[in-house]
Amino acid sequence: MSTTRQLLNSVEVARFVAHGFLRLDGIVPREMNEEALGVFATGLPAVPYGTTVPKAFPEGSFTRRLVELPAVAGALESLVGSDPSVDHHFVHTREPHEGSAQPLHADALIDVRPDAFDVQLMYYPQEVTADMGGTLVVPGSHLRRTNESDTGRYQNLLGQTRLTCAAGTVMLVHHGIWHGGRRNDSDTVRHMYKIRFNPTVPQVRLWDVSDLHSPAVSSELGRTFPWYEPATGRLEIHNRIQLWRTLTGDPGFDIDHWATRISNRPALRSQA
């Protein structure tokens, strides 16, 4: 297996900025998926907030090998840098025929950082079928600030996705994504292993920027989603423009002049 890190390109990072998540389907080898079930049954040691990856997950440990898989390591480096700290990790387990689901929520407190974000890795060691429930995610919700389960009263939003995937799938999500674990109506125990990473370096051009000026970048950033309101939904694209400016270090980036138009203040320029 190749050990060369696989950085994301600009189009993939733009897709993450628009959707709030990125799927890496079936990338974990079968033998690691089988090993994971035993590791989860035994239990994982707690990790204090802010621990470095080498200290949190010793060399040779299951989790260390998971996050060092080239596709995983490259994607994490592209989004949070090569030396993030570990916020926390936890194995979420859903028993067969469990009769409840999580409310729709965003993790942790309302987060107003305009220039940084955490990334949560969600790893699925088993195939997740529709009757197993899976993780529900609302695409494009991550930049609409909400506090924890304030969204819990919403039962279904147009365009939401409920993850079904092959064994060994990893999903990387922006910390603000609206999501929830669905109930498990199958005969199989379902596991999802989550690790939250905090950046320790500025999140500026950490990925392969050779395609930075591709028209596909703006196309990704300009996506809309079915649940967006006609007016308020446009603010989501403006929020992405602001985030993309931060991630690229390009204060002039824009889509259809949206951000430039509302920041035009000639009076301030005339006083300089």
Burial class (CB in 10 A: 0-12, 13-18, 19+), 156: exposed
What's the mean pLDDT when you consider all of the chain? Answer: 94
Q: Is the confidence at residue 165, as pLDDT, over 60?
A: yes
Confidence band of 5 (pLDDT split at 50, 70, 90): confident
Q: Following DSSP, what letter does each residue of the chain receive, concatenated? A: ---S----BHHHHHHHHHHSEEEETT-S-HHHHHHHHHHHHH------TTEEHHHHS-TT-HHHHHHTSHHHHHHHHHHH-SSPEEEEEEEEEE-TT----PPSB-SSS----SS---EEEEEE-S-B-GGG--EEE-TT-TTS---GGGGGG----TT-EE--B-TTEEEEEETT--EEEPP--SSS-EEEEEEEEE-SS--SS-SB-TTTT-HHHHHHHT---TTS-TTHHHHHHHHHHHHHHHHHT-TT--STTHHHHHT--HHHHHH-
Distance between alpha carbon 148 and the CA centroid of its chain, in Å? 16
**CA–CA gap between residue 258 and residue 254 (Å, rounded):** 7
Cα–Cα distance measured from residue 220 to residue 240, given in angstroms and rounded to the nearest whole number: 10
Q: What is the pLDDT of residue 100?
A: 85
User: For 105, left (φ over 0), alpha (ψ -120 to 50), or beta?
Assistant: beta
Q: What is the pLDDT of residue 272?
A: 60
Of 128, 102, 110, the closest CA to residue 180 belongs to: 102
Tell me which of 204 and 98 has the higher pLDDT.
Answer: 204
- On whether the CB atoms of residues 78 and 117 are closer than 8 A, the answer is no
pLDDT at 2 over 60: no
Domain ranges of the chain: 10-198, 215-271
Q: How confident is the model at residue 4 (pLDDT cuts 50, 70, 90)?
A: low
Token digits of residue 45: 């040691």
Asked whether the predicted pLDDT for residue 207 surpasses 70, the reply is yes
pLDDT at position 58 over 80:
yes
pLDDT in tens, 166-178: 999 999 999 999 9
Q: Which of 194, 227, 212, 176 is nearest to 91 (CA)?
A: 194
CA 13 to chain CA centroid, nearest Å = 11
Phi, psi angles (nearest 5°) of residue 135: -95, 125
* pLDDT tens digits, 225-234: 999 998 888 9
CATH number of this structure's domain 10-198: 2.60.120.620
The answer, yes or no, to whether residue 45 has pLDDT greater than 90, is yes
- pLDDT tens digit sequence for 126-157: 999 999 999 999 999 999 988 999 999 988 89
Instruction: Please name which of 61, 134, 65, 54 lies closest in space to residue 94, comparing C-alpha atoms.
Output: 134
